[in-house]
Amino acid sequence: MAYTIEGSTGAWEVVVGLEVHAQVISKSKLFSGAATAFGAAPNSQVSFVDAAFPGMLPVPNREAIAQAVRTGLGLAAEINLVSRFDRKNYFYADLPQGYQISQFEHPIVGKGVVDIALADGSTKQVGITRLHLEQDAGKSLHDQHPTKSFIDLNRSGVALMEIVSEPDIRSPEEAGAYVKKLRSILRYLGTCDGNMEEGSLRADVNVSVRKAGEAYRTRCEVKNVNSVRFVMQAVEAEALRQIAVWESGGTVEQETRLFDANRGETRPMRSKEDAHDYRYFPDPDLLPVVLEQSWVDALKAALPELPDAKQARFIREYGLSPYDAAVLVAEQATAQFFEAVASGRDAKLAANWVTGDFFAALNRTGRSIENPPITAAALGRLLDLMADGTINGKIAKEVFEAMLDSGEDPAAIVDARGLRQVTDTSAIDAAVDAVLAANPEKVAEYKSGKDKLFGFFVGNVMKAMAGKGNPALVNAALKQRLG
């Protein structure tokens, strides 16, 4: 079912395109040697180039260009072997040059595509229009002094990739799925850390609404949305606002808006009338960026396995469901963890444990997959204890909790706590006899046809054996005694 919003005049379709700004992982800035680490003391990572001192010149950072190309390859996009840097001119206190070096007419990456998976099991392709490199601006701090503004130029000149999607997105869910998928690809590629809280990934959300079959109506751009949840909320809030405008007989004006997460609404930032004339022109300090096809090919050959390919392989090699596979490949570290656990073992069981108890443990402990409370090797050894019959599944959960608490090896825990599964048939027979003897009326009911009571007997026998009975042997013994 296509997503629509029901207004007083009928159903409205939502049309969304995203411009994602992704900070390039690179030791130095796009055109200077200054460092890019997050959280450094203000103005401690600023070269004379970044501060636009007289006579300073930009020199392109080859690694930043390689990162943009890797990203383009990861988005199955055209790589433009010749691209160009342009100047986007405007005045602001945290823009030292008085212009941003960007790529306007000739971006380094052209059309590409991102596949997104939706909750109903369907998939969808979102087109990528282009990816270009540009400089970040500095930061203005207006709350540090009663009458002055402070400027921090640490970000000034940091390389950003602006990734522009086609207006292919049709719902908040699709917008969220797109950002998540894009972030996942960028992280796999190692071209952006995708950290939205630190501002490494930010989205400008272009929203318009229309009736089915109509041409596009006027769009508004919601700037600088900094979480997946806010992207989804901003799409919905802005669509609802526009529908209200149209349905009250008004006209949506093209403008730039901000999303207020506290109020869950967008509000105007600047209108078309005070839109800048950026006076774009080719930056005369820089030569065109000319790439060798062989260099691009070498980057392509060195790309890691990306989420889609990995998901397909997990389904194929491990027999996982598409859903489980998607969950496990979303983060490269999770996929790696899973493969370490699954290697040489029952992959489905491994997937269940990783996505079940292990993920729950991550949540509970607040730890990350990179710094897990239980290593993949230890979890693997726990699975081995189940596989060789040392413990059963129920006891395994107990051992898992003990591993979380103590950090000890599963085999040690099993030994120390005497959790080894009982396979001694005489002990099982004795427990079965005792349970049947204590419940003569239930035995009678069972024998008169109340089959469901079999579970009751199993539970009681296991209870009597402190959970350590071998479930198969317990079942067999009960079946035999009850006829």
Partner 1 sequence: MTLTDLTLAQARDGLRARDFSAVELTEAYLSAIAAVNPRLNAYVLVTDEAARAQARAADAALAAGDHGALTGIPLAIKDLFCTRGVRTTAGSRILAPFVPPYESTVTANLLRDGAVFLGKANMDEFAMGSSNMTSAFGPVASPWTRRGDNRALVPGGSSGGSAAAVSARIALGATATDTGGSIRQPASFCGIVGIKPTYGRCSRWGIVAFASSLDQAGPVARTVEDAAILLGSMAGFDAKDSTSADLAVPDFAAACRRGVKGLRIGVPREYRMEGMAPEIEALWQQGLGWLRDAGAEIVDVSLPHTKYGLATYYIVAPAEASSNLARYDGVRFGARSAGGDLAELYENTRAEGFGEEVKRRVLIGTYVLSAGYYDAYYLKAQKVRALILRDFTEVFRSVDALVTPTAPTAAFAQGEKMDDPITMYLNDIFTVPANMSGIPGISVPAGLDGQALPLGLQVLGKPFDEETVFAVGAALERAAGFTALPGIRAGG
Q: Which residues bind partner 1 (CB under 8 A)?
A: 48, 51-60, 87, 89, 91-93, 96-99, 149, 151, 277, 279-281, 284-287
Kindly state the smallest distance separating residue 157's Cβ from partner 1, in Å. Answer: 13
Q: Which token pair is 299?
A: 């980057």
**386 within 8 A of 392, measured Cβ to Cβ:** yes
Q: How far is the CB of 277 from partner 1 (least distance, A)?
A: 5
Tokens encoding 99: 């212009």
Amino acid identity for residue 312 in this structure:
A
Closer Cβ to partner 1, 76 or 286, answer by number: 286
Instruction: Measure the CA–CA gap between 22 and 4, rounded to whole angstroms.
Output: 30
First to last CA, the chain: 53
Q: Which is nearer to partner 1, 43 or 355 (CB)?
A: 43
Question: Of the two residues 96 and 194, which places its CB atom closer to partner 1 in the complex?
Answer: 96
Q: For residue 268, give every residue at least 6 positions away whose Cβ sits within 8 Å of its Cβ, in sequence order, or none.
A: 255, 256, 257, 258
Q: Report the residue number, 156 or 334, with the smaller CB distance to partner 1.
A: 156
DSSP 169-224: B-SHHHHHHHHHHHHHHHHHHTS----TTTTSEEEEEEEEEE-TTPPP---EEEEE
Residues 420, 441: contact at Cβ < 8 Å? no
CB of 105 to partner 1, least distance (A): 11
| Smaller CB separation from partner 1, 105 or 198 | 105
Task: Determine which helix (DSSP H) or strand (DSSP E) holds 462, and give its type and residue range.
Answer: helix 453-464
- Is residue 61 within 8 A of residue 108, CB to CB? The reply is no
Nearer to partner 1, 271 or 406 (CB): 271
* Shortest CB 50 distance to partner 1, Å: 10
Q: How far is the CB of 47 from partner 1 (least distance, A)?
A: 10
Least distance (Å) between residue 85 CB and partner 1: 10
